[in-house]
Structure formats: C-alpha cells, structure tokens
Amino acid sequence: MGSLARYGLSAAAVSTLTVGMVLPAGTPVVAASSSAWSATVPALIHDSRLTDVAATGPNNAWSVGYQASTYTGYSIDQPYALLQWNGGAWIERRLPHQAHVLYKVDAVNAGDVWTVGIRRSGEPYAGHFDGVTWTSHTPWSAPSGTSDLLDVAGTGGGRAVLVGHDGGRPLVVEGDARQFSRVAVPGTEGVNGVLRAVSRTKDGAVFAAGDRYVTDAPYPEPMIVQRIGGSWRVAPIPPIASVHLTGVWARSATDAWAVGTQDFDSSPKPVILHWDGRTWQRVAGPAPAGWVYAVAGDANGNVWISGTNPIPPYVEYPGTLLLRYTGGRWSVAYGPKVDGNDPHLDALANIPGTSSFWGSGAATVDGFRQAGVIERTR
C-alpha cells in the first residue's frame, strides 16, 4: 500500500473531500464520537476470521468464517467456523456434512438460514438450516476453482438468491433447497466482473453489488444489479474509476446503500452510494480517506458502515473506523481495540426489532496471530 497524506477525521476535514463526492444539502457532519461498540473474541483455533454475521432477533444470530489457517493452508480437515448466538453466548456448531470455508450467512428467521462457501474440492457450497438440521446443496456446479458463490440473501420460504462469479463473469443464482437455476441479467452478457454482496427487502426487492472491468481499463468500476417488481437489470450508477464495491444493504425497494473503496491499492477513499427508488447517487460520509467494507441499517433510518483507517505515519487511531448515519447526520464512531489493535470488521447486521447491531471480522492478537472478532453496539 502506498503512503497516504495525513487526514483528519472530523467536521473540519469535510472540505478536503475528493472532487466528485457531493454531500446532499442539509446533511451535516459531526466530529468523531466515543465507541458505542464492545468486542469479544470467540474460542476458535488461530488463525481465524469471522467474515459474516446475521441475526433474526436478540436471542438468535449466526456468524461464519474460517479457523486454523496457517501459512501453508489449514491445520484441520474442515476449517470452517460456524457460530450461533443463543441470547447469552456464542456457541460453535458443526455441520453434519463436508464443508471447507464459509464466506457469508443470511437468516430470514430461526428456521430459514443460508450460508455459502467452498468445498475442499474447490466447488461452490451452500448450506440451509431449517431450525433443526443443516443440509448441503450445490446451487451452481462448475469445475474446481472456476466459480465462487460469495454471498447469499434468503428470500423466504426456503428460497435464496446467491451471487458471485462464473469464470470471471457476474453470477446470480436463485432457487430453493430442491432446485437452483442461473438468472439471466440483461446487460451482464460478456461482462468481466464479479458480484460480491447481495441484500433483499421485505417488499421483494433484491440488490447485488460488485465491480466490472470496462474495455482495457486496468482497474474496475462499480456495478450494481437489482430486481424490483420482478425484473432484473443492471442499474445505472455514477462512473467511478478504480472501485471495489464490497457491501450492500437495502431497507426497501426505494432505499438502499452500497459501499466500497476507491483507489483501494494506493490512496483509499470510501465510496458510499444511495438508491432513492429512482437513481443511485454518490454521497460523502465523514471520513475522506480509508477503506470501507460493509453496510447495514435498521427500520428507523440508522445506518452503520465498517472500515479501516488510512495508514499515514505517526497516527494512532482510537479504534476501528465506523461511520454512522442517524437523524440526518454523519459521524465517525470508532470501535474498540482488541489486544491493542484495531479490528477489521468484514460484516455488519442489524438485530431485527431493535436499533442494535452485530459486527464480525478479525484482529491481530499476541503480536502476530489473527483472531476472529464479534462486536456489538452497547
């Protein structure tokens, strides 16, 4: 990563935002606030990472990822991590079938939970939990190492939408525990790209975000595909060079957010996009520099975005970079440190029926080991 100029993360820094990032009129930014989050490190085998989290209520949530990672692979046969929150503690669960690493998880309710990942053979894997038993599925069959299912959104009744790539082409698969099929999204034919995240809404809309390469451009530009009213399409979005979109969350068919990072391999800048039911527009948050990864909101209009601080020299940050939008105002709300280091949160999820959130990711502990981390708003 290239060195970055020193950035202040406060209301005064808004004037230094990158050209082209427009803050909507009447959207003030406030200075950084103290952490509203607490962190825990579940008992997993180092090195570990929890790459996603999903909740159905205060007493039920799931988190997935991997453990026992080494420089040469994994030290155990099935290194996936699968944790369930029972209202008082995170309990490790094991699948009754073979799986290797789990990427993402989504829960419609306690009896309709999906996860995606990869088998040891390199083939895409999906698992479904009906409240009693986990079952194994192969929604997309492809030669080992040529395709990935990177995220899943349960749509109810045991159905789900899964996204990723197939041979470097954007991939959308939809179905249930009995049968899946590829969705033909007009405008993606021949596109070189990937869909990394997907979100569904209660009113039936689905949004998927990722990136694509255009002509001979050396870096990708953002891509969003969406299903509103039963039809899939590629959404028109502002052209932004050198962007990975890594997170998407939708409250309804007329209110969705997508996030990622511009210039991710040199001078990273947050990218925040908002859908108002008609157009996607880029908006500016309170941090002009840094990486961002995930976004989630609640029914009351609150939105959280997780990220990583920029790395200019001689700067000690208070904790993990978290951006918050509430009451029409953006703020920076740093998360807690773990063993003196800033965790990297790959995922965020609202706890339904509340304004509380879970986050999951990893932090460096004992000087060099990576440990899976789960955080929660206080």
Contact at 8 Å (CB) between 160 and 145?
A: no
Residue with tokens 């008992």: 43
CB atoms < 10 A from the CB of 311, how many?
15
Q: What is the pTM of this model?
A: 0.90
Residue 1 has pLDDT above 70, yes or no: no
Residue with tokens 């349960």: 154
pLDDT tens figures, 96-133: 999 999 999 999 999 999 999 999 999 999 999 999 99
Q: Find the length of the chain.
A: 378
Sheet strands (E) in 41-87: 49-57, 60-66, 69-70, 73-74, 80-85
Contact at 8 Å (CB) between 360 and 63?
A: yes
DSSP assignment of 156-205: ETTEEEEEEEETTEEEEEEE-SS-EEE---TT-TT-EEEEEEEEE-TTS-
Q: How far, in Å, CA of 240 to CA of 218, rounded?
A: 13
Mean pLDDT of the chain: 89
Query: What pLDDT does 218 receive?
Result: 82
Q: How far, in Å, CA of 158 to CA of 160, rounded?
A: 7
Task: State the Cα angle at 275 between 33 and 354, rounded to 5°.
Answer: 50
Residue 23 has pLDDT above 80, yes or no: no
